[in-house]
């Protein structure tokens, strides 16, 4: 689970408990929306400079692990 990890933070004081990238106010859903729309990680990072490439990659790697574990 990524909740309140170095990758994602969930707090009632920040965006009403919307999962955000740790240390930012950028919702994780925003990255997913960018990717679903065919935008690149670079496009996302250009629009949200408070999020680091390492955070995005760590999120995607963790999501991959959890998905594989769920279907395995």
- Per-residue model confidence as pLDDT tens for the chain (72 residues): 565 578 999 999 999 999 999 999 999 999 999 999 999 999 999 999 999 999 999 999 999 998 999 887
- CATH numeric code, 8-71: 1.10.10.10
Strand partners, 14: 11
CA–CA separation, 71 vs 39, rounded Å? Answer: 27
| Domain parsing of the chain, residue ranges | 8-71
Can you give the pTM of this predicted structure? 0.87
Q: Is the dihedral of CA 1, 7, 48, 26 positive or negative?
A: positive
């Amino acid at each position: 689970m990524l909740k309140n990890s170095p990758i994602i933070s969930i707090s009632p004081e920040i965006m009403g408990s919307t999962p955000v990238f740790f240390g930012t106010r950028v919702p994780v859903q925003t990255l997913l929306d960018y990717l679903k729309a065919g935008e690149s990680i670079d496009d996302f990072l250009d629009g949200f400079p408070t999020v680091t490439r390492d955070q995005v990659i760590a999120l995607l790697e963790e999501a991959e692990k959890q998905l594989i574990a769920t279907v395995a």
